[in-house]
Structure 1
Amino acid sequence: MKWAPAIACLVLAACQADSTQTPPTASSGGSTAQGSNTAVISLPKAQVTDEYRTDITSLCDCVHESGADQMPKNERWPVIAMWLGPHITTDAGHEFLVAIQPLQGEAKALALETEARRVGLAKCDLANEWRGE
C-alpha cells in the first residue's frame, strides 16, 4: 500500500492531461526527434510474471473494475486513480505507470496496448478509453 497515494496522483495527472499540453522535450527530460515535437520515451520491459500480468490486466480493466464506467466521463478519473492504487502491486507495474505518465492520446494508448499484448492480453479497454473510443 506504500504506492497507493503516489499511483493515485500519477494516474489522475495522466488521465486528466489534455491535448493542449506539450509533450516532453529534450530540455524537460525527454528526448525528441530533431525537427519534430515527438517525444521518445524509453519504456521499461519488466519480466512477465503472473503478478506483473495481473497488474497490466488491472490497468487495462480499471474503467470497468473500478465502477467508473457507470459514471459520467468527466467524473471517472479520480475513481480510477483511487482504485488503481491498491490494485497495482508490483514495482514493475508502478514503474510502467510512471513511464507512460508523460505520454498523451494515441501514444499513451499504444504504449499500454503494446504492453498488454506483450503480457498476453488480447485487448485493453483503458487504451481504448484514452483514444476516446
Structure 2
Amino acid sequence: MFEVIVGIIERVALATADNVDFFEGRLADTYKTGEEGRDAIHLYPFITEKTNFGVSTDLSIGFWRIDSPRNGNDDRRKIVASMDVLSDLFLDALEDEADVEFVSVPKKEPQYQSLSPSYSGYFVTIQLNVLKPCV
C-alpha cells in the first residue's frame, strides 16, 4: 500500500499546478526541494495501519516556496498566502480521489522561513483511509 499512497499523493500534487515539484522522504530531503520560481509539495514519512478496507494513515505534507532571507514581511506573507491557496487546491483534489476518504479535517499551519535554505509555506496534517486497489 506504500506505493499506492505515494502514487495518489504524487499524482494529485503534480496535477495541482504547472509549477509544482513533488518530493517524498526525510526532512533532510527538503533541503533539495524546489528551484527558484517552482513550488514544492513534500510528503514526509508516514505510518499506516492495516484495516479491512485498506489502510488508515496520518500524512504530513509540506507546501513550500523558496523565501530569501532578504524578503520583508510583505513578501513573506505573499509566499505563505500562495502556499495556503496551493494546499487548499491540493486538498480539494485529494478529496475527489475515489480511493481516498478523509477521516479528519485537515489541520494547516503557516510556516515562516523554515528549513535550510530558507522556505516558507504551509504544513498540513490529515488522517486518510486509502482503499485497497481493485485487482
Q: What range is the shorter-chain TM-score in?
A: under 0.3
More strand as a share of residues = 2
More helix as a share of residues = 1
Q: Which has the larger radius of gyration?
A: 2
